[in-house]
């Protein structure tokens, strides 16, 4: 027997299925056009290889996109029956399924996430999301939110789930009769541009979906454009606040899905092996680049040692490496910038006195990597217990009573998600009631579904995406002062 | 010789008590003809902060009560208001100069609105929450919860306007700091007396009187306030300033609503604007 008895042979997914062009323009009014601005490079974070050059939309490009969206809204999309809109969305859902492998490979290349995740989680939920909202398009009168669209939606999405966030934004917007201008994140534009091609294949009327690539300036131009009726943003709390300030006094309707610092609470009667799987899934899924990640483990004192030893044993089996390898559990950190943030906060964790342990694993020499890491001896005052790290770094705190767990869990400006692990049903329901978070996962974690509303309390933002509730942000409330 | 009447001192309503402004200030409130009605307390930043503390302290208990219980308390406010309707009609006639018939209409509507909202306490969850049929073996339920402490700038209608903005917030379990109409603050304090004797726990509704321009910015920027209702803000620049300040902790904002017809039946938005949706998942298995 050797040490590597349980090592897996490499099982890379083929890249041949994707065709990455050397450069990409903007998708405006149904066509790819050259932007006025400069171009920027998107790279593969697992290798640092440059994948393509992408246009950076300037104010004039954004204006052209908004005008195209307005034209499509006025002339076509708002006049079309819900039943017809639905058929376009169903078409899109079907094409996403047909081209699912291609989308998954491209997502893993551009983002760094493991192929088993993009293939088994992201892309299937993307297709399901379009399928779900397609069905709403001709049933809005039963939604409880009326059936009047807002107009043009400006949407800005992050790099952690590029295609999934696109689906969360575009599917409900279109189902409700709005047209969109969407900006993917600057480090992960490629699947959004492939989605633009899917819109062409679906014969979606020009201008209904416009994709403009770029960074913060492009996003600002969309958010502050006077002819945008709706702003939907997923990203950092800092940018979310800037958006809330920027739209003050306007008639724009806003939904914000921002940061989190979720508590994942493990009681002493929890099934510990399942809980450990949940902890691992909670913080190492998608390299911890998850706004609802279970980044604070609250473990009952009596089982803390047991949980930690099982957790470390499990972490040591995580396979970190090539995102395209079908056996990879943890992929690449999305960018050099994000890697340096994770490193910086981890160093702060050590200097503030918490004890750091990282899973022993060989990291590739090129690309951006961070080994799954856990901090013990963390106090509520530590920055690693308060700030969103957005990486594979878990902070562990302990508690004695349910009330102490609630107190610690809610002691954060965020309120996006929380987890509870216990075998006692009444305790689950009591904890679920007392945790101030928009999603509570009990004896599970990081579950997503098109029918299930997602969104936060407090500084994790406002509005919901997904489910019936997700329609509200894209329909007009006619009451006075109701922020449309 | 005729009897000299005993006048009322109008103070603030904070945490179930009626304190004077800690600033020691008051301002003159005139009737519709410009004659002195009374001096009202002119609340300060400190009073606003005290009110937020009281509202926060009351939040856990109030939001934790059963919906049935909150319904009964708000219904009780309507009962007590009905019993004191003549006083309110007289106050409305004096402060706004409205006819006796009009005053009666407003008081009727305010009482009826409380009754309407009282009935919502144990129904809003059923109307805006739902089960979600996720594609997997999971129980999944979305239900509304109150946002927390809500600051409100009340509209001019001293009774009906005030009731129309406060009732939808407390019926769902929020607690409130409300700045009464600056020109017509007295009725708000009298309504505080009604609330104080209606089994409404202290701190659930806190009433400040004074300058909106002075107090509202402190509430808008207060980091322990979860939402702000700008319904009564008439100065457009101030409204923008307040919405900008509210972004510091991402308060839920309701924008100003000039020209609202308070006699019309409301829809759900005054409740739902300050509700969060919580979604709970649990695996299904044996």
Residue A174: half-sphere exposure toward Cβ, Cα within 13 Å? 36
Q: Which fold has domain A263-449?
A: Aldehyde Dehydrogenase; Chain A, domain 2 (3.40.309)
Show me where the domains of chain A are located: 23-258+459-474, 263-449
Chain A within 8 Å of B197 (Cβ-Cβ)? Answer: no
Chain A within 8 Å of B57 (Cβ-Cβ)? Answer: no
Taking CB atoms and an 8 Å cutoff, what residues of chain A touch B247? Answer: 241-242, 244-245, 248
Tell me the nearest-neighbour CA distance from A279 into chain B, angstroms. Answer: 15
The encoded tokens of residue A224 equal: 């502050």
In this complex, the residue of A248, A441, A459 whose CB is nearest that of residue B250 is: A459
Neighbouring residues of A275: CB distance < 8 A, sequence distance ≥ 6: A266, A307, A421
Is B273 in Cβ contact with A444 (below 8 Å)?
no
Is A482 in Cβ contact with B273 (below 8 Å)?
yes
- Could you tell me if the ipTM is greater than 0.90? yes
Instruction: State the sign of the Cα–Cα–Cα–Cα dihedral A349, A282, A301, A429.
Output: positive
pTM for the predicted model, two decimal places:
0.96
**Residue from B143, B276, B284 to probe the interface with A (highest A Cβ count within 10 Å):** B276
Is A413 in Cβ contact with B282 (below 8 Å)?
no
Outline where chain B has alpha helix (H): 45-64, 67-83, 85-96, 100-120, 124-128, 160-171, 186-196, 212-220, 236-246, 269-272
A263: β partners:
A296, A418
pLDDT of residue A6: 67
Regarding beta strands B227-229 and B149-153, do their DSSP bridges make them parallel or antiparallel, or are they unpaired?
parallel
Closest CA to B19 of B189, B195, B184: B189
The whole-angstrom separation of Cα B250 and Cα B197 is 34
Q: Is the pLDDT of residue B7 over 60?
A: yes
pLDDT of residue B145: 98
Show me where the domains of chain B are located: 26-30+37-283
Neighbouring residues of B267: CB distance < 8 A, sequence distance ≥ 6: A479
Neighbouring residues of A406: CB distance < 8 A, sequence distance ≥ 6: A431, A434, A435
Scanning the structure block, which residue is given the tokens 């579904």? A449
Scanning the structure block, which residue is given the tokens 């294949």? A201
In this complex, the residue of B132, B239, B252 whose CB is nearest that of residue A452 is: B132
pLDDT of residue A484: 62
Number of Cβ pairs < 8 A linking chain A and chain B: 122
Residue A171: half-sphere exposure toward Cβ, Cα within 13 Å? 31
DSSP A253: E
Regarding beta strands A152-156 and B205-208, do their DSSP bridges make them parallel or antiparallel, or are they unpaired?
unpaired
**Residue from B233, B244, B281 to probe the interface with A (highest A Cβ count within 10 Å):** B281
The whole-angstrom separation of Cα A70 and Cα A84 is 19
Regarding beta strands B175-179 and B205-208, do their DSSP bridges make them parallel or antiparallel, or are they unpaired?
parallel
Taking CB atoms and an 8 Å cutoff, what residues of chain B touch A248? Answer: 240, 243-244, 247
Find out whether A430 and A372 touch, Cβ atoms under 8 Å: no
The encoded tokens of residue B56 equal: 């926060």
The whole-angstrom separation of Cα A81 and Cα A77 is 8
Tell me how long chain B is.
286
Three-class SS string for A145-210?
CCCCECCEEEEECCCCCHHHHHHHHHHHHHHCCCEEEEECCCCCCHHHHHHHHHHHHCCCCCCCEE
The whole-angstrom separation of Cα A88 and Cα A85 is 5
Looking at chain B, which residue has its C-alpha nearest residue A473? Answer: B273
Scanning the structure block, which residue is given the tokens 């004096």? B94
Q: What is the mean pLDDT of each run of 10 residues along chain A (484 residues)?
A: 68 95 98 94 98 98 98 98 98 98 98 98 98 98 96 98 98 98 98 98 98 97 98 97 97 97 98 98 98 98 98 96 97 98 98 97 95 98 97 98 98 98 98 98 98 98 98 88 67
Find out whether A193 and A101 touch, Cβ atoms under 8 Å: no
String of DSSP letters for B2-41: PPPP-PPPP--BBTTB-PPPTT--EEEEE-TTS-EEEEEE
End-to-end CA distance of chain B: 86
Is B240 in Cβ contact with A249 (below 8 Å)?
yes
The encoded tokens of residue A214 equal: 């770029």
Phi, psi of B26 (to 5 degrees): -145, 165
List residues in chain A touching B: CB distance below 8 A: 128, 144, 237, 240-242, 244-245, 248-249, 256, 258, 413, 428, 432, 437-444, 447, 449, 451-455, 457-459, 461-462, 464, 467-469, 477, 479-483
Closest CA to B182 of B206, B150, B216, B148: B216
In this complex, the residue of A249, A442, A461 whose CB is nearest that of residue B250 is: A461
Chain A within 8 Å of B24 (Cβ-Cβ)? Answer: no
Is A444 in Cβ contact with B140 (below 8 Å)?
no
Chain A within 8 Å of B253 (Cβ-Cβ)? Answer: yes
Find out whether A16 and A25 touch, Cβ atoms under 8 Å: no
Residue A222: half-sphere exposure toward Cβ, Cα within 13 Å? 30
Query: Would you tell me how many other CB atoms lie within 10 Å of the CB of residue A276?
Result: 23
Find out whether B109 and B101 touch, Cβ atoms under 8 Å: no
Looking at chain B, which residue has its C-alpha nearest residue A440? Answer: B280
The encoded tokens of residue B172 equal: 């769902």
Is B267 in Cβ contact with A449 (below 8 Å)?
no
Chain A within 8 Å of B127 (Cβ-Cβ)? Answer: yes
Tell me the nearest-neighbour CA distance from A453 into chain B, angstroms. Answer: 7
Chain A within 8 Å of B200 (Cβ-Cβ)? Answer: no
The CATH classification number of B26-30+37-283 equals 3.40.605.10
Find out whether A35 and A25 touch, Cβ atoms under 8 Å: yes
The whole-angstrom separation of Cα A69 and Cα A62 is 10
Closest CA to A168 of A470, A415, A478: A470
Q: A28-57 burial string, b = 16+ CB within 10 Å, else e?
A: bbbebeebebeebebbbbbbeeebbebbbb
**Residue from B250, B284, B286 to probe the interface with A (highest A Cβ count within 10 Å):** B250
Query: Would you tell me how many other CB atoms lie within 10 Å of the CB of residue A477?
Result: 20
Q: Three-class SS of residue A65?
A: helix
Is A241 in Cβ contact with B255 (below 8 Å)?
no
Taking CB atoms and an 8 Å cutoff, what residues of chain B touch A432? Answer: 278, 280
String of DSSP letters for A108-152: HHHH---HHHIIIIIHHHHHHHHHHHHHHTT-GGGSSS-S-B-SE
The whole-angstrom separation of Cα A96 and Cα B74 is 52
pLDDT digits (tens, 9 = 90+) for A324-362: 999 999 999 999 999 999 999 999 999 999 999 999 999
In this complex, the residue of B134, B244, B278 whose CB is nearest that of residue A438 is: B278
Taking CB atoms and an 8 Å cutoff, what residues of chain B touch A477? Answer: 269
pLDDT of residue A1: 42
Taking CB atoms and an 8 Å cutoff, what residues of chain B touch A428? Answer: 282
DSSP A434: H
In B210-239, the residues whose Cβ lies within 8 Å of chain A are 226, 230-231, 236, 239
Find out whether B79 and B71 touch, Cβ atoms under 8 Å: no
Is B250 in Cβ contact with A241 (below 8 Å)?
yes
Cα-based torsion angle of the residue sequence A13, A19, A20, A24 in order, rounded to the nearest 10 degrees:
-150
The whole-angstrom separation of Cα A301 and Cα A60 is 58
The CATH number of domain A23-258+459-474 is 3.40.605.10: yes
The whole-angstrom separation of Cα A418 and Cα A411 is 12
Outline where A253-358 has alpha helix (H): 272-284, 304-315, 336-351
Tell me the nearest-neighbour CA distance from A28 into chain B, angstroms. Answer: 32
Catalytic residues of A: 257
Looking at chain B, which residue has its C-alpha nearest residue A461? Answer: B250
**Residue from A440, A481, A482, A483 to probe the interface with B (highest B Cβ count within 10 Å):** A481
What angle do the packed helices B85-96 and B100-120 form, to 10 degrees? 120
pLDDT of residue A194: 98
Is B240 in Cβ contact with A432 (below 8 Å)?
no
Neighbouring residues of A417: CB distance < 8 A, sequence distance ≥ 6: A260, A262, A292, A294, A437, A438, A439, A440, A441, A456
In this complex, the residue of B246, B260, B278 whose CB is nearest that of residue A440 is: B278
Is B135 in Cβ contact with A449 (below 8 Å)?
yes
């Amino acid at each position: 027997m050797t040490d590597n008895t349980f090592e897996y042979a490499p099982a890379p997914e083929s890249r041949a299925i994707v065709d990455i062009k050397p450069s990409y323009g903007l998708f405006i009014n149904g066509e790819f056009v050259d932007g006025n601005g400069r171009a920027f490079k998107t790279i593969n974070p697992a290798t640092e290889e440059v994948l393509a050059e992408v246009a950076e939309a300037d104010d004039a490009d954004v204006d052209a996109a908004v005008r195209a969206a307005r034209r499509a809204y006025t002339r076509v999309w708002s006049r079309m029956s819900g039943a017809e809109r639905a058929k376009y969305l169903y078409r899109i859902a079907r094409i996403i399924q047909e081209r699912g492998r291609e989308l998954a490979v491209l997502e893993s290349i551009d983002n760094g996430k493991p192929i088993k995740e993009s293939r088994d989680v992201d892309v299937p939920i993307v297709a399901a999301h379009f399928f779900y909202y397609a069905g709403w398009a001709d049933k809005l009168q039963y939604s409880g939110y009326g059936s009047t669209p807002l107009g043009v939606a400006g949407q800005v999405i992050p790099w952690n789930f590029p295609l999934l966030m696109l689906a969360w934004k575009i599917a409900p917007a279109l189902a409700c009769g709005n047209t969109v201008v969407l900006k993917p994140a600057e480090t992960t534009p490629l699947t959004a541009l492939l989605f633009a091609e899917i819109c062409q294949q679906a014969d979606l009327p020009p201008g209904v979906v416009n994709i403009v690539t770029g960074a913060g300036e492009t996003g600002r131009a969309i958010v502050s454009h006077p002819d945008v009726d709706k702003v939907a943003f997923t990203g950092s709390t800092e940018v979310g606040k800037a958006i809330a300030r920027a739209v003050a006094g306007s008639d724009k309707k806003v939904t914000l899905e921002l940061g989190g610092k979720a508590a994942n609470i493990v009681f002493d009667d929890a099934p510990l092996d399942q809980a450990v799987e949940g902890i691992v899934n909670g913080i190492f899924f998608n390299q911890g680049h998850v706004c609802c990640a279970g980044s604070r483990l609250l473990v009952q004192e009596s089982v803390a040692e047991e949980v930690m030893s099982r957790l470390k044993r499990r972490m040591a089996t995580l396979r970190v490496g090539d995102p395209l390898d079908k056996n990879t559990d943890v992929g690449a950190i999305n960018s050099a910038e994000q890697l340096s943030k994770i490193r910086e906060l981890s160093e702060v964790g050590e200097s503030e006195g918490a004890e750091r342990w990282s899973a022993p694993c060989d990291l590739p020499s090129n690309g951006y990597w961070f080994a799954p890491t856990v901090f013990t001896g963390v106090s509520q005052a530590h920055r690693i217990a308060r700030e969103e790290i957005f990486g594979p770094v878990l902070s562990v705190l302990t508690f004695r009573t349910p009330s102490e767990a609630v107190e610690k869990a809610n002691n954060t400006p965020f309120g996006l998600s929380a987890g509870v692990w216990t075998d006692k049903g009444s305790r689950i329901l009591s904890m679920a009631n007392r945790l101030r978070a928009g999603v509570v996962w009990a004896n599970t974690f990081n579950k997503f579904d098109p029918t299930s509303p997602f969104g936060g309390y407090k500084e994790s933002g406002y509005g919901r995406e997904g489910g019936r509730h997700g329609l509200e942000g894209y329909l007009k409330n006619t009451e006075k002062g109701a922020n449309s | 010789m005729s009897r000299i009447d005993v006048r009322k001192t109008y103070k603030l309503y904070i945490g179930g008590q009626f304190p004077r402004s800690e600033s020691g200030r008051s301002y003159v409130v005139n009737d519709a003809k410009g004659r002195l009605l009374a001096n009202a307390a002119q609340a300060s930043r400190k009073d606003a902060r005290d009110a937020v503390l009281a509202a926060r302290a009351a939040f856990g208990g109030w939001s934790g009560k059963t919906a049935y219980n909150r319904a009964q308390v708000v219904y009780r406010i309507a009962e007590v208001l009905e019993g004191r309707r003549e006083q309110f009609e007289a106050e409305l006639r004096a402060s706004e100069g409205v006819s006796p018939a009009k005053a009666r209409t407003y008081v009727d509507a305010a009482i009826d609105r409380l009754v309407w909202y009282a009935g919502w306490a144990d129904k809003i969850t059923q109307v805006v929450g739902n089960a979600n049929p996720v594609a997997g073996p999971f129980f999944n339920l979305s239900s509304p919860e109150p946002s927390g402490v809500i600051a409100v700038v009340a509209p001019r209608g001293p009774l009906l306007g005030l009731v129309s903005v406060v009732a939808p917030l407390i019926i769902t379990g929020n607690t409130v700091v409300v700045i009464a109409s600056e020109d017509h603050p007295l009725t708000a304090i009298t309504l505080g007396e009604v609330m104080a004797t209606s089994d409404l726990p202290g701190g659930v509704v806190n009433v400040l009187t004074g300058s909106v321009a002075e107090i509202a910015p402190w509430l808008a920027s207060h980091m322990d306030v979860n939402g702000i209702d700008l319904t009564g803000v008439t100065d457009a620049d101030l409204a923008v300033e307040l919405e900008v300040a509210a972004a510091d902790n991402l308060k839920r904002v309701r924008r100003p609503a000039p020209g609202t017809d308070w006699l019309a039946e409301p829809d759900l938005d005054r409740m739902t604007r300050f509700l969060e949706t919580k979604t709970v998942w649990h695996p299904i298995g044996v």
